Chains A and B, each alone.
Chain A
Amino acid sequence: MGLVLPLLVFLGVTFLAPLATMLLRSVHDPVVADALPATLAALREWEGEGPPPEAVYEAAARELGSAREARTLGQVAGRVNRLQSGLRSVFTRTARNLEDVTGGPWREAMAGIDSAWVDPGTWHAVRAAGERFTARHYLNAVDMQRLPDGSVAPQPEERRIYLPLLWRTLLVSLAITVFCLILGYPIAHLIAHAPPRRGNLLLALVLVPFWTSLLVRTTSWIVLLQTQGVINDVLVAVGLVGDDGRLSMVYNMTGTLVAMTHVLLPFMVLPLYSVMRSIPPLHMRAAASMGATPAQAFRRVYWPQTLPGVGAGSLLVFILAIGYYITPALVGGSSGQLISNMVAYHMQTSLNWGLAAALGALLLAGVLVLYLLYDRLVGVERMSLG
């Protein structure tokens, strides 16, 4: 126990703790609740129709001012703006202009700065953003929204993106897993049963790309696949396609599939190889001597013994594919983007970490479900990573 303690601590600090904080972020957001406590308390008295009572405005005016001083106003405004576009500048402008206002009535003062303050929609947005614990990131991640009356409805059609993307990510990952299996199985077989010298050479051919930088491999595919690229040039030179009929093989789904299959292929070949090496060649010879055709011998003797490798390789490739990010970003164009690209966007650009966390949690849940399914169908203890 004492010997694994350093590893456990390391895992806890670098893996479990960040994972837990991100998951917490997907449901917990105290920024608005901390900045506008009195406003939110006063809003509880409001029926939801027409402008709220003066007490709300008075509290809001005070708390906007202090949020501006504490420099948390931008975060508050940003969160409300996600629920209703345009409110960010209303918040920052109002807080700035209120500095010159010395006394009430606050409703008139704020409405004078921007008419949005007498729009009930603004206050519904404030109230929703003020929830300390919220499910809205998860609703958002499955293209739903909560209406002011509390009911849940689908997003307007032009804003539905996450469900189609999740679905696409699943399909693409499945397709890549199948491609890797079709391509990797014969390679692994060849390497495992070749004479040692040739086998090692072939293994090196698999490993060298595996050790090459991901970016180099991905950009090499761009050089090969682009319209004026090597493959198209060859096709045109041979006369298979005309110069104006060059194929679009990159910056679309084809590019994503080809490049990701190549990048992930070693993760399929290596577990298969290690399993196949442990199958004695005698088995196939024995099957043949008992009268099995090569196809029968493969199907009934060889294939069942490689299943642990197939399972391990497929699970590995699938799980890696489902969270893949750089390759689709570079070669995917608009149709080859996956859900991970949206997670990256919300982490890096929109800074909506709550939504990014919710999308990540959905992916994590998907992988766990598949893992359990695999365990139920094949049995995890039969999986061999070599």
Chain B
Amino acid sequence: MRTDPLARAAARTSACAAALVACLAGHVTAQSITAVSYGGSYQKASTEAWFEPFTAATGIRVGVEDFTGGLAQIRAQVEVGNVYWDVVDLNASDVVIACDEGLLEYIDTEMLPPGADGTPAAEDFAPGTLSDCGAGVVVWSTIYAFDARRFPGARPETIADFFDLEKFPGRRGMRRVPMFNLEIALLADGVPTEEVYALLDTPEGLDRAFRKLDTIKDHVVWWEAGAQPPQMLADGEVVMSTAYNGRIFNAQVLENQPFEIVWDGQLLDINQLAIVAGTPRLEEAMRLVSFASTAEALGRRISYGPARASAAPLITTHLETGVEMGPHLPTHPPNMARALRRDWDWWVDNQDVLNERFSAWLAR
């Protein structure tokens, strides 16, 4: 099922010797690879910032497909041995799981070029953005946002306000997964950021988080797709909602929606580019990954922070509207005052049980 890369390379070489012409033909068709991303404005930004310049620089065409995250399709391709995705934009926790399961190729960090200011790659990547199988590309975050029109007087400012139904009545939007919800429940309950995961690791801490969620459960509208929260806010379906910061930014600057982001208690997350194990276009895929890691910052197209320190100064204004990007990035220092970095290892260990418990809690 899964073959040793060396053996595969050897097999390919001998095949080449046997049929040089066929091999050359194969090489020509390899001048096109498939990159997979999440659709919507993020995919548009990725295409403009990475894929199109990559084609212009190397002549390798990039076909862009979209998916909704998760590893099911990658696993199916690898198990069947018919890999047609080459480079995939994945959440860091999925990269950890997929890497352990042998679904991804190892990233050779030596191959990654130095940053724009000459910093070697190993030092340039922010801590945690580079892993065995993934090269970080963006730092994004889950925040909560509200519609300013709904709060003419006092406005929500802290994560505790999200749970305060007396001061800020109205329905809340939350993503229908335990992730982020458990963390902010503890933060809102007064737990300091650095103790959140240690506490969640205990049965008492989990019970406490669920008890805090109980207090607003009847006022929650659950969402699934990233496009829903801005829509629900605009429709007045909810007065505030957790959301991906880039989606709210788009609504703010492109649609002039009076939404405000509360950065207090934001949960930082990293997305990485990874290469599907067994792709016949490994070399091209690796070139794309290293190219994207230094390419013109995505942050001028969508409000996600860079994974490499050297890219930060390059993110100046929004290309489309000229808005100053700094304050809109999750990595902007004032926004980081009470930010939590998602503990991927903890989630990878606990997500099976917590997803079941969360579903059971929802159904009650």
Stretch at the interface among A155-163, A175-183, A314-322: A155-163
Q: Is B100 a contact of A334 with CB atoms below 8 Å? A: no
Q: Is A78 a contact of B221 with CB atoms below 8 Å? A: no
Residues of B near A66 (CB, < 8 A) are none
Q: Is A159 a contact of B357 with CB atoms below 8 Å? A: yes
Interface residues of B in 89-116 (CB under 8 A from A): 97-102
Decide yes or no whether B348 CB sits under 8 A from chain A: yes
A160 to B363, CA, bound (A): 10
Decide yes or no whether B355 CB sits under 8 A from chain A: yes
* Chain A window 319-336, contacts with chain B (Cβ cutoff 8 Å), 1 for yes, 0 for no: 000000000011001110
Decide yes or no whether A128 CB sits under 8 A from chain B: no
Q: Is A78 a contact of B101 with CB atoms below 8 Å? A: yes
Q: Is B70 a contact of A158 with CB atoms below 8 Å? A: no
Min CB–CB distance A20 → chain B (angstroms): 16
Residues of B near A342 (CB, < 8 A) are 359
Decide yes or no whether A220 CB sits under 8 A from chain B: no
Q: Is B359 a contact of A89 with CB atoms below 8 Å? A: no
Q: How many of chain A's residues have a CB under 8 angstroms from any CB in B?
A: 43
A350 in complex: contacting residue of B68, B236, B351, B362, CB < 8 Å: B351
Q: Is A333 a contact of B222 with CB atoms below 8 Å? A: yes
The interface residues of chain B, by DSSP majority, are classed as helix
Q: Is A158 a contact of B224 with CB atoms below 8 Å? A: no
Min CB–CB distance B91 → chain A (angstroms): 11
A236 to B235, CA, bound (A): 16
Min CB–CB distance B350 → chain A (angstroms): 5
Which of B176, B221, B352 counts the most chain A CB atoms within 10 A? B352
Min CB–CB distance B190 → chain A (angstroms): 24
Q: Is A158 a contact of B360 with CB atoms below 8 Å? A: yes
Chain A residue with the shortest CB-CB distance to B171: A227
* Chain A window 54-78, contacts with chain B (Cβ cutoff 8 Å), 1 for yes, 0 for no: 0000000000000000111111011
Which of A81, A88, A352 counts the most chain B CB atoms within 10 A? A88
Q: Is A161 a contact of B363 with CB atoms below 8 Å? A: yes
Residues of A near B356 (CB, < 8 A) are 159, 161
Q: Is B353 a contact of A159 with CB atoms below 8 Å? A: yes
Chain B residue with the shortest CB-CB distance to A86: B349
Decide yes or no whether A382 CB sits under 8 A from chain B: no
Chain A residue with the shortest CB-CB distance to B106: A71
A residues touching B (Cβ–Cβ < 8 Å)? 70-75, 77-78, 81-82, 85-89, 92, 157-161, 164-165, 168, 226-229, 251, 329-330, 333-335, 337, 342, 345, 347-352
Q: What are some 11 contacts across the A-B interface (CB < 8 A)? A: A70-B2, A71-B100, A75-B102, A86-B349, A158-B357, A168-B363, A228-B235, A349-B70, A350-B351, A351-B75, A352-B352
B residues touching A (Cβ–Cβ < 8 Å)? 2, 68, 70-72, 75, 97-102, 171, 176, 220-222, 224, 235-237, 277, 345, 348-353, 355-357, 359-363
The 5 A-B pairs at the shortest CB distance, nearest first, are namely: A74-B100, A71-B102, A74-B101, A334-B362, A228-B236
